[in-house]
Amino acid sequence: MRLEVLSDRNAVAERAAAIIADVAHLAVATRGQFVFAVSGGDTPWLMLRLLSGKEIPWQRTHILQVDERVAPADHPDRNLTHLQETLLRQSTLRAEQVHAMAVENPNLGAAATDYEAVLRELAGSPPVLDLVHLGLGTDGHTASLFPSDPVLEVSNQDVSVSGPHLGRLRMTLTLPVLNRARSILWLVTGAEKAVMLRRLHDGDRSVPAGRVRQCNARILADRAAAALVAVDGDGMRFGAPVPRKK
């Protein structure tokens, strides 16, 4: 797993947008389309606003959701609301290229099954996504895979429903489909993430994030989040320069 340490969350968002643009062009050149799954969070919304201004093969791009809260349409808790406010309003991406999890369906199990069908249609059977963006919670969760939730042990579904967290059920991609992705891009910012970033970086499988494959993953972190990650003798963290402490 590669870790790049940048100055702050703005720099993380800018670097992430540049990486996504490069991956998009490579995917389209290689396979004819770019299938990208996005998580929620403040830094990711900044990343997507920056991405919307880049030269992306939008007509061959499909956006999927990593997870979604069960909430009404247009609710500020919904990740889809922020996706619409960034990519859909600020790029040439069409509405039908953003594939929303149908969390308004009262039958969430059926909605999860339907979303699996969307994954297969876009990314093959079994689905292999070109790029998945993930965040990291202070409890070690990623996507909507929370500690001790039974959804962590799901092995025969690519989409499932996790138990309530902060008062809401959530639909989420599961570990099997995350671990098949061609690339994983982690965005981790803020000092409150420092302990969990170290555990993620160390491959600690006792936390949900640590169960995501590392071989095809890259972490973009700000200095505050990366404060507890060891620096090698050259003052580098997996190739990213960081200032030495005096």
Q: Looking at domain 2-241, which of 3.40.1350.10, 3.40.50.1360, 3.30.70.260, 1.10.1240.10 is its CATH number?
A: 3.40.50.1360
Dihedral-angle region of residue 32 (phi above 0 means left; psi in -120 to 50 means alpha; beta otherwise): left
- Measured CA to CA in angstroms, residue 239 lies from 30, 149, 176, 196, 220 at distances of 27, 35, 29, 21, 12
Q: What pLDDT is attached to residue 230?
A: 65
Domain boundaries of the chain, sorted by first residue: 2-241
In whole angstroms, what is the distance from residue 138 CA to residue 39 CA? Answer: 16
* Total-model pTM: 0.91
In whole angstroms, what is the distance from residue 62 CA to residue 99 CA? Answer: 7
Helix (H, G, I), strand (E, B) or coil at 188: strand
pLDDT in tens, the chain (246 residues): 899 999 999 999 999 999 999 999 999 999 999 999 999 888 888 999 999 999 999 999 999 999 999 988 878 888 888 888 888 888 889 999 999 999 999 999 999 999 999 999 999 999 999 999 999 999 999 999 999 999 999 999 999 999 888 888 999 999 999 999 999 999 999 999 999 999 999 999 999 999 999 999 999 999 999 999 965 433 334 433 334 333
Strand partners, 170: 69, 162
